[in-house]
């Protein structure tokens, strides 16, 4: 049976705050990635050869973008981090959905905290939707 690649336009983002579960529609999700640095380690007595050893890994920042709405929940969460200098971390579930709205792949992101929130510029010469973006740092993620 032929397996076709998934399309990237049908997904959900679910904020798993300790006190409430919150979901929001987003235009895009970026930053589900990790990388490792490597360190060369020469083996004794063998010229011209070295082992590539992995060093600590790091995770990219998660960037979520959506059309600006009257809902203030995510803004208040981001703003509260700046105002109180006390981040309220939460886990986030990103689900890639099929045509029946059932998840085909899930990524569980642990201990996300907001590091940036912004609204794109205004322009009287266009009728484009105003976009808000938030950047989140997180400890790690797993694909489930």
Nearest to 11 by CA among 140, 99, 110, 137: 99
Res. 60: pLDDT tops 90: yes
Residue-range domain boundaries for the chain: 11-32+39-143
- What confidence score (pLDDT) does residue 41 get? 81
Is this structure's pTM higher than 0.75? yes
Q: What are 118's two structure tokens?
A: 């912004």
Q: Which residues contact 83 (CB under 8 A, 6 or more apart)?
A: none
Q: Are 98 and 10 in contact (CB under 8 A)?
A: yes
pLDDT tens sequence across 21-31: 676 889 999 99
Class level of CATH domain 11-32+39-143 = mainly beta
pLDDT tens sequence across 101-139: 999 999 999 999 999 999 999 999 999 999 999 999 999
pLDDT tens sequence across 75-98: 989 998 889 888 899 999 999 999
């Amino acid at each position: 049976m032929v397996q076709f690649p998934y399309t990237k336009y049908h997904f959900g983002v679910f904020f798993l705050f300790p006190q409430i579960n919150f979901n929001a529609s987003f235009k895009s999700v970026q930053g589900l990635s990790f990388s490792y640095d490597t360190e060369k380690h020469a083996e004794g007595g063998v010229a011209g050869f070295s082992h590539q050893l992995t060093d600590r890994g790091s995770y990219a920042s998660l960037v979520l973008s959506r059309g600006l709405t009257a809902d203030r929940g995510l803004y208040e969460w981001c703003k509260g981090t700046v105002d109180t200098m006390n981040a309220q971390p939460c886990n986030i579930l990103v689900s890639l959905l099929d045509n029946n709205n059932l998840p085909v792949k899930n990524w569980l992101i642990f201990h996300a905290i907001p590091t940036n929130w912004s609204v794109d510029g205004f322009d009287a010469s266009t009728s484009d939707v105003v976009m808000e973006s938030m950047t989140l740092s997180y400890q790690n993620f797993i694909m489930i």
